[in-house]
Amino acid sequence: MTDIRFGTDGWRALIAEDFTFENVARCAQGLCDHLKEVGTADKGLVVGYDTRFLSPEFAETVAAVCASQGIEVFLADKPAPTPVLSYNVLHRQTGGAAIITASHNPSQWNGFKFKPEYAGSATQEITDRLEQSIAQITTASAHSVAEGRNNGLVVDLEPSQPYLERIAALVDLDAIKGAGLDVLVDSMYGAGGGYLPRLLSGGKTTVREIHGTRNPAFPGMEQPEPIAHNLTKATSLIAKKGASIGIALDGDADRVGIIDEQGRFVTTLDTFSILAQYLLEQKQERGALVKGVTSSIALNKLGEAYGVDVHEMRVGFKNIGPKMTEVDALMGGEESGGFAFRGHIPERDGILSGLYFLEYMATTGDSPTQLLQRLTHKVGPHSFHRRDIPFEATDRDRILQMVNAPGLIEIAGVPVLDTDTIDGRRFHIEDGWLAVRFSGTEPLLRIYAEAAAPEMVGKLLDGAMAYLKV
C-alpha cells in the first residue's frame, strides 16, 4: 500500500506508479473523513483539475467517492487554474477544494492538493491529519459520478466567472487595455490558457498567446514551470519580433514568469521585489511582507525603506499563507514565482501577479527593464540563480551531514557571516546568501545563491557543488 505524504503543496507522484485511481480514491476517502471530523463536510467541496493526463478522470474519482459519502461536490466542467478553484471555495463558502494537479512537475507526474475553507494551502497540521486518515484506508469504494448527479450530490461547476469578477475588482483592467501594450502570454499548455486574453480583450493592448491549448506532454519544455530554460520559444519570439512583455503561467497557473521587452527572463526574485515595490511605492499601500527564505534580501531592504515588517518562512505556501493571514500581510511569496496579495486569497495566483505587473507598466509607462532599474535604484543590484540536482535516496544522509557540518567558515573562499536553518541551511555572506535544501515536491537537491554580481552567484553555486560533491 502506497505511503501517501503531502509535501510543500499536496501529494504528488508518478502516474500509474503511485498516482493511481485506487490511491486517489484513498485520498478522497481520507479527505471525507477529515471534513466530517472538523465539521465542514456539510458545506460541500469544490473539485477541480488541470490539463494533465487523466486529470479529468481522477477528478471524477474524487467526486464519486465524496458523493458516496454524502458530501455535495461542485465538479469543475473544464480544466481550471488552482487560484480560480481556490477562489470558488470563498465564493461558494464550501469546506474546501480538492484539486488534481501536479502544478509545475514534469508530465509524468500528477498530484492531489487540498485547499481548506479559507482557500489557501493546507497547513502542516492539516496535512498531518490527512496523512493519518489516508493511512488507515486500504480501499475506497464509490458510486458513479452519474449516480451522484442523479442524487443531486454532484453539481457541475463553471468556475471562471466568479474569479474573473473578483479580478476585475482588484485590478484596473481598463488602464491596462488602454495602455497599448503588446503582451505575449505563454500558458505552457496548462490550466491558465485563455484567461489573460479574455481579461484583456477589447482595448488598445494586444495579447498573443502561445501554448494555450491542452497538451499533457508539455512538448518543448522540461516541465511547465515558468523559468528561463522552459521559456525558449517565448523569449525567442520577443527577441525576434518584439513585445512589451512576456508573461508565463505554470501548469496550474499559480506561478508567474516575466520576460522583459528584449526577451530576457526576469528572475522570480526580482519579480517578487518589483511587485512589492509597486504596492508600497506606487500604490502607497502598507502592510507586512511574508517571504520564503529563498526569496531576495531586496525585500528586507524594501521593508526597511518603507517601514513595514518582513517575515521569513519555510518554503511553501502552507507556511507563508497562514502567516499572511495572521499579520494581514500586504503580499506574500516565494522564489518559485508564486505570489499572493491582500484582499484576494491567501494563495499564489499567477494570473493576478501578471496583471499587477501590467498595471504597474500601464500606470507608469515604464518597460520591465525600467521597472527593474527602479528597484535597483532603491535597493542596489541583486543577481540570483538556482540549480536543481537529482540525487539518489541513498546519498541524502551524506549530503545532510555535509550541509549541517559545524564550523564551515567559507564557501569558495567567500567568508560565511552567519547561518540559519529556517528551511534547509542558509549561509549568509556580505550582501547575499547561499541556501541548500531538498525539494518538498520532487527528488531534487536545490542550491540557491543571491549576490550583488552574477559572477559571485556562479562562484557560490560552483563552490557549494564542489563541497557537497554533487
Of 346, 379, 412, the last residue of a domain is 379
**In this structure, what CATH number is given to the domain that contains residue 321?**
3.40.120.10
pLDDT at 140 (0 to 100): 85
What totals of helices (H) and strands (E) does the chain contain, helices first? 16, 22
Residues 6+ positions from 365 with CB-CB distance below 8 Å:
none
Question: C-alpha grid cell for residue 463?
Answer: 563552490
pLDDT tens, residue order, the chain (470 aa): 899 999 888 999 999 999 999 999 999 999 999 999 999 999 999 999 999 999 999 999 999 999 999 999 999 999 999 999 999 999 999 999 999 999 999 999 999 999 999 999 999 999 999 999 999 998 888 889 999 999 999 999 999 999 999 999 999 999 999 999 999 999 999 999 999 999 999 999 999 999 999 999 999 999 999 999 999 999 999 999 999 999 999 999 999 999 999 999 999 999 999 999 999 999 999 999 999 999 999 999 999 999 999 999 999 999 999 999 999 999 999 999 999 999 999 999 999 999 999 999 999 999 999 999 999 999 999 999 999 999 998 999 999 999 998 888 999 999 999 999 999 999 999 999 999 999 887 889 999 999 999 999 999 999 999 999 99
Domain count, the chain: 3
Is the same domain home to 216 and 258?
Answer: yes
First to last CA, the chain: 32
pLDDT at 443 (0 to 100): 85
Is the same domain home to 198 and 222?
Answer: yes
Is the same domain home to 371 and 389?
Answer: no
Report yes or no on 204 lying in a domain. Answer: yes
- DSSP-assigned beta bridge partners for residue 290: 311, 332
**In this structure, what CATH number is given to the domain that contains residue 438?**
3.30.310.50
pLDDT at 406 (0 to 100): 85
Is the same domain home to 109 and 195?
Answer: no
Grid look-up 500500500 returns 1
Is the same domain home to 260 and 348?
Answer: yes
Is the same domain home to 183 and 318?
Answer: yes
Enter the DSSP assignment of 10.
B
Report yes or no on 5 lying in a domain. Answer: no
Report yes or no on 166 lying in a domain. Answer: no
Is the same domain home to 371 and 405?
Answer: no
Burial class (CB in 10 A: 0-12, 13-18, 19+), 441: buried
Report yes or no on 395 lying in a domain. Answer: yes
Q: Determine the structural domain holding residue 81 and report its residue range.
A: 11-161
Cα dihedral sign, 198-199-201-207: negative
